[in-house]
Amino acid sequence: MDNPTLNLIHAHGSVRRYKPDPVPASAIERIVAAAQRASTSSNMQIYSVIAVTDADKRNQLAELCGGQSQIREAPVFLAWCADRARLDQVCALRGYMQSSETLENFLVAAVDAAIAAQTAALAAESVGLGICYIGAIRNNSTEVIKLLELPKSVFPITGMTVGVPVQAPRIRPRLPQEAILHWESYNPDQDAALLSYDQTMIETGIYKDRQVPIPGKEGQTESYGWMEHTARRVSQKVRPEMRAIIEKQGYGLK
């Protein structure tokens, strides 16, 4: 099976170096129009996107997002937000009160924002632009909320740099499909797929042949691979303040 849409999807790679060429507002508008076509929970469209082109603001965002220079370089930064604020207006106009106490309400909005973001990513890539998601937008959520003047019930889920790539992106292999696609019921037996993917990723050279200790084998080392990379990441407690900030921004998480 082969067609231009599938080819585009399979050509994805995150872009972290951008040419200074501007991306016109009309291109951003077309990309967001495509994002707006994405499926959305009950057609409620519970998300917004803030397009930041101002260089000073992008510099500030770069600082708030772990000093990532791609945010300074890319002419556009998109902040994809869960947004129930306009639903307060809808409820007020119709004489209702929005219920915002449960985690489900936040999840629905966050999923809407993520689906729209990915649709925009593909739209941007389809016109030759590059993108990179910026989850680090949640490193300093309170400051980002202040900088982008986000009202209550608008919470930044992910950022995204957009611009003309300096070079075609590297394509990172993905897990063998048997680890991801389960037919009829979940198959927990994934060791072979994980070991094989670890080796595939080592062979790409992405990890520069670093050596790490083998767990349980004193004095022995092996190549740093995807499993070591991933295990290190998920063993850290990341952004423990997130719940409090989301609640402060107007979302109950019960």
Ligand X SMILES: Cc1cc2nc3c(=O)[nH]c(=O)nc-3n(C[C@H](O)[C@H](O)[C@H](O)COP(=O)(O)O)c2cc1C
Report in angstroms how near the CB of residue 123 gets to ligand X at its nearest. 16
Contacting range for ligand X; rule: CB under 6 A; set: 48-56, 78-86, 130-138, 235-243: 130-138
Under the binding rule (CB under 6 A), the answer on residue 10 touching ligand X is no
Report in angstroms how near the CB of residue 218 gets to ligand X at its nearest. 32
Contacting range for ligand X; rule: CB under 6 A; set: 8-16, 105-113, 141-149, 200-208: 8-16
What phi, psi does 52 have (nearest 5°)?
-110, 120
DSSP symbols for 4-15: HHHHHHHT----
Q: Across the chain, where does the E strand assignment appear?
A: 47-52, 76-83, 130-134, 154-163, 211-214, 217-223
Report in angstroms how near the CB of residue 81 gets to ligand X at its nearest. 13
212 DSSP β-pair partners: 222
d(CA 61, CA 74): 12
Could you give the C-alpha distances from 111 to 46, 83, 211, 220, in angstroms and in order? 9, 11, 38, 43
Report whether 219 contacts 235 (CB < 8 A): no
Residues with Cβ < 8 Å from 31, sequence gap 6 or more? 120, 123, 124, 127, 129, 162
Task: Find the binding residues for ligand X in span 45-104 (CB under 6 A).
Answer: 68
Report in angstroms how near the CB of residue 59 gets to ligand X at its nearest. 16
Q: Is 63 exposed, middle or buried (0-12, 13-18, 19+ CB in 10 A)?
A: middle
Report in angstroms how near the CB of residue 166 gets to ligand X at its nearest. 15
Size of the site for ligand X (CB under 6 A): 13
Ramachandran region of residue 252, left (φ > 0), alpha (ψ -120 to 50) or beta?
beta
Under the binding rule (CB under 6 A), the answer on residue 176 touching ligand X is no
Residue with the CB atom nearest ligand X in the bound state: 135
Report in angstroms how near the CB of residue 219 gets to ligand X at its nearest. 32
Under the binding rule (CB under 6 A), the answer on residue 14 touching ligand X is yes
Contacting range for ligand X; rule: CB under 6 A; set: 3-11, 132-140, 178-186, 210-218: 132-140
Contacting range for ligand X; rule: CB under 6 A; set: 10-18, 82-90, 97-105, 231-239: 10-18
Q: Which of 120, 132, 145, 201 binds ligand X (CB under 6 A)?
A: 132
Residues 205-224, mask of contacts with ligand X (x by CB under 6 A): --------------------
Q: Which of 135, 142, 210, 242 binds ligand X (CB under 6 A)?
A: 135
Dihedral of alpha carbons 193, 199, 203, 206, sign: positive
Report in angstroms how near the CB of residue 4 gets to ligand X at its nearest. 19
Nearest CA among 220, 222, 229 for reference residue 201:
229
Q: Which spans of this chain sit near ligand X (rule: CB under 6 A)?
A: 12-14, 16, 68, 132-136, 158, 169, 172
